[in-house]
């Protein structure tokens, strides 16, 4: 059961955040030019292949032998081809290439993949990864997110992102958590904002994916913003926030205001 946590006052508007950042700048005594605020340069730990248990879902190291069957079944068919539209790989009409990709994902260190398991059934219903892991700058990204229809628009879909963010900030000690997506991917952009990430802009002609141009939308969440985001996550995830039909009483975005 999630227990409500006292919410801290953190600037919500991007303009206010920018002003606060500017006010933390130091001035170089020799040149009178502004420089960044001092930061602890100690590098955080890299994410490990560990299990994160939530109320509705569990994140576990991706294991093709245990998870590939359910993931393949959950992403097959013409009706599910859209799940791969903005990902760099897929769809996989044949099982062989899919299994090869799962084996590569399972052994990769960056990206580091986690399967998302439904606690009620124990079956894999999606996966996500930590990537572009930069301990020297204390920056890490979440991406390669694949949610099967069984996971989409469920409590578990949000809880999975909460568990990943909590691990990054509280156990590993990163200061910046990034979310990037195709600028045309409206659902992903909306999800980032709902989860508490701040939109930072678009990198034009950033990539070529599947033979097509990709402009990339950038979002971030900072360690200073995590306490307020965490409080909203835990209030939203608490069973008391849902009625007898499983409908939310207050939205995640409303709880952050």
124-136 average pLDDT score: 98
pLDDT of residue 7: 37
Q: What is the pTM of this model?
A: 0.88
Cα–Cα–Cα angle for 27, 29, 30, rounded to 5 degrees? 120
pLDDT of residue 6: 40
pLDDT of residue 32: 84
- pLDDT value at 31 more than 80: no
Name the residue among 111, 104, 171 with its Cα closest to residue 142: 111
- pLDDT value at 216 more than 60: yes
| 17 or 165: which leads in pLDDT | 165
pLDDT of residue 14: 57
pLDDT of residue 8: 42
Tell me the angle at which helices 226-237 and 155-166 cross, rounded to the nearest 10 degrees.
150
- pLDDT value at 182 more than 70: yes
Residue owning tokens 């996966």: 127
**Is domain 42-255 classified as CATH 3.40.630.30?**
yes
pLDDT of residue 184: 98
- pLDDT value at 5 more than 60: no
- pLDDT value at 238 more than 60: yes
pLDDT level of residue 253 (50, 70, 90 thresholds): very high
For the chain, the structural domain boundaries read: 10-39, 42-255
User: Are 63 and 103 contacting, i.e. CB atoms less than 8 angstroms apart?
Assistant: no
72-100 average pLDDT score: 96
pLDDT level of residue 257 (50, 70, 90 thresholds): confident
């Amino acid at each position: 059961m999630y227990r409500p946590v006292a919410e801290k006052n953190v600037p919500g508007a991007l303009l206010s955040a920018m002003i606060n950042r500017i006010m933390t700048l130091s001035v170089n005594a020799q040149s009178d030019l502004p420089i960044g605020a001092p930061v602890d340069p100690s590098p955080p730990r890299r994410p490990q292949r560990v299990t994160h248990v939530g109320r509705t879902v569990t994140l576990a190291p991706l294991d093709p032998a245990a998870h590939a069957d359910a993931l393949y079944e959950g992403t097959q068919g013409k009706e599910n081809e859209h799940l791969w539209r903005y990902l760099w790989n897929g769809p996989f009409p044949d099982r062989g290439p899919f299994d090869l990709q799962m084996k590569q994902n399972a052994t990769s260190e960056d990206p580091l993949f986690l399967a998302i398991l439904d606690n009620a059934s124990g079956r894999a219903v999606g996966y996500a990864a930590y990537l572009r892991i930069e301990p020297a700058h204390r920056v890490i990204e979440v991406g390669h997110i694949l949610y099967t229809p069984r996971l989409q628009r469920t409590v578990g879909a949000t809880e999975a992102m909460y568990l990943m963010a909590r691990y990054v900030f509280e156990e590993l000690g990163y200061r910046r958590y990034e979310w990037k997506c195709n600028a045309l991917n409206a659902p992903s952009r909306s999800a980032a904002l709902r989860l508490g990430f701040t939109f930072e802009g678009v990198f034009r002609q950033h990539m070529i994916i599947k033979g097509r141009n990709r402009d990339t939308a950038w979002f971030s969440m900072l360690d200073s913003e995590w306490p307020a985001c965490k409080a909203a996550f835990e209030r939203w995830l608490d069973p008391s926030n849902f009625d007898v039909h499983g409908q939310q009483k207050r939205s995640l975005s409303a709880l952050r205001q």
